[in-house]
Chains A and B, each alone.
Chain A
Amino acid sequence: MALRLSCPNCGSRPFTEFWFGGELRPLYREGMSPEEDYRRLWLPENAAGRQTERWFHHAGCRRWLTAERDTVTNEIHVVH
């Protein structure tokens, strides 16, 4: 079964309309040490379960969305 995302602007659409932006990671903060920045950038959580992640609706509203998805079942809980 192909994944579908419920875009808040465009409704339910197949994942092929979206680009996956990966898990949501902490943003760079002023004064972060190189070590903290390395861990933030290169060492993801890679959750097996609920993950907060980014998608870009390139074939629709062309906006970045944040979704909560279970990576084991692919069930999408929230898109905002």
Chain B
Amino acid sequence: MIGLLRKQVHLRTNDLKPHYDVVIIGGGGHGLAAAYYLARVHGVRDVAVLERSYIGAGGTGRNTTIVRSNYKTPETIAFYKKSHQMFLELGQELDYNMLVTPRGLLWLAHSDNQLRLQRERAALNQAFDVETVFLDAAGVREVCPQLDMTGGGGKHPILGAAWHPKGCITRHDAVVWGYAAASQRLGVHVHQGIEVTGISTEGGRCVGVTTTAGPIAAGVVMSAVGGYVSNVARMAKIRLPIITHPLQAYVTESYKPAFDRVVASADLHIYISQSARGEFLIGAEIDPYTSYANASTWPFIASASARAIDLLPFLAKLRILRAWTGACDMSPDYSPVMGTTELKNFYVSTGWGTWGFKAIPASGLSMAELLATGKVPALIAPFRADRFRDDRAISERASAGTH
């Protein structure tokens, strides 16, 4: 019993060293996961993760915790399938309860066009051994009886859906804490409250960073910065194909567990789930203009609520508890940007936009391999930063545009 009440200290503090083999900028899921796999898989333990705020302060602590692999291009399906599998075993791997809860995810179609797209999604997923099946309206009703099949009195009738039974929700903070604690056990330094203020170069290669706590020399530097990545890119004097949009979400007060699905609609740009705490979590698409201001806005909450109530009328009786906003690093094709940059020994994992949380394990594993070996793993090779130069965009707008 005493053990249950004991104060849990997740992170040790380490003295900042003047040199590390690897410096990772950004202590979100992607940075911490890369540090963990560097230490565990490659034996590279002289690693520092520098976080200017607290770990998980950015997108990893602000997303809507959905894990799924029902994407629409061969490259992304393979990548997210790997990540989804890793998520299911992550609690065991890190010795930390991730509260992974299978929910099953419905992607609704309200138009002929969406019916075609969702059929196509199911077929493509099956071709890559990801379980997604197309359901007609009767099938949708069976899986989720709470849905108003008329979509608010005929406004958005539900005609069918792509059903992804393995879709889960998980505990996003646990992912951060689990990776941070496990990487510290392997000797990684996780420094909070240290901001990188410059990238040091020598003879055209990156040799370290300057920080609010002084300069740090490094063999290689990786940016795992999300919405603010363009600031880091400016320090490195490179450009990235990224623009920063706000993404808003909100939760209702807690209600008893009664809704065990994740419902998404591409036509309505909305998705709804009930969290482990009983809050109904509603998210939507990015704000229509670029911004770094983490402002929640009334027009967003009003319009998202109206659309959510059209699908699940009982939501009208619930009360909104809190809203929040995060900065999303949006890429032109809604796919991630991972790999080398124009600056030697400087690597990026960015372009995580609205689709990054579920990618944390596979991105961390792949970036660790790249940093340790200098070779780009096949799994992430298509996501190179300069793919737009030779017209190799990986269009995922239809499947990553919301969550």
Contact = CB atoms under 8 A, between A and B. Distances in A.
Interface of A: 1-3, 14-16, 19-20, 22-23, 35, 38-39, 41-48, 51, 53, 71-74
A43 B291 contact: no
The 9 closest A-B pairs by CB, nearest first: A43-B239, A46-B230, A20-B289, A42-B388, A74-B293, A72-B292, A2-B297, A38-B389, A42-B241
13 contacts: A1-B295, A2-B299, A20-B288, A20-B289, A35-B389, A38-B388, A42-B241, A42-B389, A45-B230, A46-B240, A47-B230, A71-B292, A72-B292
Given A16-B299, A46-B230, A48-B228, A71 B244 contact: yes
Nearest to B242: A46
Contacts of A39: 239
Contacts of B332: 42
A3 B293 CA distance: 11
A74 B291 CA distance: 7
B263 interface: no
Given A19-B288, A20-B288, A48-B231, A43 B240 contact: yes
B85 interface: no
Nearest to A43: B239
Interface string B297-316: 11100000000000000000
B293 A72 contact: yes
What's the dominant secondary structure at chain B's contact region?
A: loop
B394 interface: no
Contacts of B299: 2, 14, 16
A78 to B, nearest CB: 16
Task: Identify the interface centre among A2, A3, A16: most chain B CB within 10 Å of its CB.
Answer: A3
A6 to B, nearest CB: 15
A3 B246 CA distance: 13
Contacts of B244: 46, 48, 71
Contacts of B230: 45-48
Given A20-B290, A22-B290, A46-B242, 15 more contacts: A14-B299, A15-B288, A15-B289, A22-B243, A23-B243, A35-B389, A42-B332, A43-B241, A44-B243, A46-B244, A46-B290, A48-B244, A53-B289, A72-B292, A74-B295
A37 to B, nearest CB: 10
A71 B290 contact: yes
A52 to B, nearest CB: 12
A79 to B, nearest CB: 13
Contacts of B293: 71-74
Nearest to B290: A71
A51 B244 CA distance: 12
Contacts of B297: 1-3
A45 B241 CA distance: 9
Contacts of B292: 48, 71-72
Nearest to A74: B293
Contacts of B290: 20, 22-23, 46, 51, 53, 71
